[in-house]
Amino acid sequence: MARASTTSDVFNALGDVHRRDILDVLIAGEKSVGAIVDSLSMSQPQVSNHLRVLSEVGLVKRRAEGRHRLYSLAPERLRPLHDWVTKYERVINDRLDRLDDYLQELQRRGDGSGL
């Protein structure tokens, strides 16, 4: 069965750093393909193809204006990712809390174990 396709799974779509780069460029706002090409060092067909993937998976929206196609973020689609990461925040914080406790414990003891 392999992985879910890049065009159907947001996580997999973001598995390519170039696509993340494109999204990062789009944070500033709507941009044409040419503008994206200029911002990043990628060929036009490469950018167009990554945009196709991002569009199919729902991470960007397309709008036509004359001979330009303007792409913009569809950040709602990042929600699955956001939610997934959020689940782990608790785990991360728990660990940090425990580390904190441990360090404070050490300090309370004031032991000179040399470790």
Residues that bind DNA (CB under 7 A): 1-3, 5-7, 12, 15-16, 18-19, 32-34, 37, 42-53, 62, 64, 66-69
Residue in the structure block whose two tokens are 């392999």: 2
Residues 6+ away with beta carbon under 8 Å from 69 = 32, 33, 62, 63
Cα 15 to the center of its chain, rounded Å: 9
Residue number, 15 or 80, with CB nearest to DNA: 15
Does residue 95 belong to the site contacting a copy of itself (CB under 8 A)?
A: yes
67 binds, among DNA, a copy of itself, none (CB under 5 to 8 A by kind): DNA
Q: Alpha-carbon distance 101 to 71, whole Å?
A: 48
Does residue 27 belong to the site contacting a copy of itself (CB under 8 A)?
A: yes
87 binds, among a copy of itself, DNA, none (CB under 5 to 8 A by kind): a copy of itself
Q: Alpha-carbon distance 18 to 12, whole Å?
A: 13
